[in-house]
Amino acid sequence: MNYPLISVYILSLLLLASITSCERILGYDYEEPEQCLDFMAEFESLRGVHFADHDRGWAVGLCGVIFSTNNGGETWSLQNSGSKESLSGIHFFGDQTGWVVGWNGTILHTAGGGIWEQQDRREESSSGISWALRDVHFTSVQSGWAVGWNGTILHTADGGENWEIQEKASEMNLYSVFFTDDLTGWAVGWKGTIVHTSEGSNAWQVQESGTSEELHSIFFIDDQIGWAAGLQGTILNTLDGGENWQIQETPTTNAMRGIYFIDENKGWAVGSFGTILLTTDGGENWQRIDNAAAEKELRLRDLHFVDENTGWAVGEEGIILHTSDGGESWEFQ
């Protein structure tokens, strides 16, 4: 599916959204659905992307949208999510088993990559919360974490059949979570918040980030080396598991929404106004990459790579970008 078609499809979904859906997704009351559309247009239509391999991938966004591809993004098809909530985080373990999280405590699960079921049914909610979940990460088909507003951290040890609320280390909204194994993980959010656990459970502690900027994405390649990205072009790096974080110099002040590394040297970050940054030396130097999203000033929200050359980025107006040369060039899908 090409970029113009996927955008038209998402805008059509928004036009058909009811006033109730608007209230549920955004928490605002509108007299006409068109007002909901106008408000939504200011937000990223696609908010998360994950690929299991070079061929199979998924992208999630507003109004319960889940798109999937079996041919590396040459064509995309809509899956039935069973939800109309805004979806923001997605993670797969393997090419069949995945989870998606979103507004109002939404947690969706698939065991086959195509049929989605809610794990947070309102009348018997296993998530136990009613506000937004922003990201999810699994280290096995059983063990995973989800994070969201008000410092919320959820954990499951049974593939999402049951979710437990873990003790908060902060009341700040959390936007991203990453684990390197069943015990070691980090989450980031408002006002430079970074929280860390080395026990995989309730023992979360705040790490000093050295910034007050909102942090929207975190990524580690092992239990020592990691990066976080956020507003005002902020990118942080640690070489000791977060004991110390250093601010890396970047060529932008645009908000950075997603960061991904394939090894300790090569990584990418994406953000507002179509910003795409590339580094080949662990972030010592970041270069800005020209691309079609930047020409249209479209916000990019998330990215995922399957090797050092092949990756995708998603964002505003249903945009999906693809690179096959390590991020040197990007094209619409």
Q: What is the mean pLDDT of residues 226-244?
A: 98
Least confident of 10-19, 81-90, 152-161, 248-257: 10-19
Residue 20 pLDDT = 38
Average predicted confidence (pLDDT) for the chain: 87
Residue 1 pLDDT = 47
Residue 45 pLDDT = 86
Q: Is 243 helix (H, G, I), strand (E, B) or coil?
A: coil
Q: What is the mean pLDDT of residues 143-156?
A: 96
In this model, does residue 35 exceed pLDDT 70?
no
**Could you tell me the pLDDT band of residue 18, with boundaries at 50, 70 and 90?**
very low
Question: Which residue is associated with the tokens 């698939």?
Answer: 110
CB atoms within 10 A of CB 307: 11
Which ranges constitute the DSSP H helices of the chain?
3-16, 19-26, 33-40, 292-296
| DSSP state letters, 104-166 | GG-EEEESSSS-EEESS-GGG-SS---S-EEEEEESSSS-EEEEEGGG-EEEESSTTSS-EEP
pTM of the model: 0.87
Which domains are assigned to the chain? Answer: 44-332 (2.130.10.10)
Task: Name which residue leads in pLDDT, 12 or 156.
Answer: 156
Q: What is the pLDDT of residues 156-205, one digit of tens each?
A: 999 999 999 999 899 999 999 999 999 999 999 999 999 999 998 778 99
| DSSP state letters, 69-81 | ESSTTSS-EEE--
CA–CA gap between residue 87 and residue 146 (Å, rounded): 13
Q: What is the mean pLDDT of residues 227-234?
A: 98
Q: What is the mean pLDDT of residues 144-154?
A: 96
Q: What is the pLDDT of residues 90-141, one digit of tens each?
A: 999 999 999 999 999 999 999 999 999 999 644 444 455 778 999 999 999 9
Residue 212 pLDDT = 98
Q: What is the mean pLDDT of residues 234-244?
A: 98
Asked whether 119 and 107 are in contact (CB, 8 A), the reply is: yes
Residue 128 pLDDT = 59
Residue 127 pLDDT = 53
CA–CA gap between residue 225 and residue 274 (Å, rounded): 27
Least confident of 25-34, 128-137, 245-254: 25-34
**Could you tell me the pLDDT band of residue 44, with boundaries at 50, 70 and 90?**
very low
**Could you tell me the pLDDT band of residue 9, with boundaries at 50, 70 and 90?**
low
The encoded tokens of residue 129 equal: 């919360």
Q: What is the pLDDT of residues 46-89, one digit of tens each?
A: 999 999 999 999 999 988 999 999 999 999 999 999 998 999 99
**Could you tell me the pLDDT band of residue 6, with boundaries at 50, 70 and 90?**
low
Residue 31 pLDDT = 37
- Sequence-distant (≥ 6) Cβ neighbours of residue 61 within 8 angstroms: 10, 44, 45, 46, 47, 48, 86, 87, 314, 318
Q: What is the pLDDT of residues 278-291, one digit of tens each?
A: 999 999 999 999 99
Q: Is 294 helix (H, G, I), strand (E, B) or coil?
A: helix
CB atoms within 10 A of CB 206: 12
Residue 240 pLDDT = 98
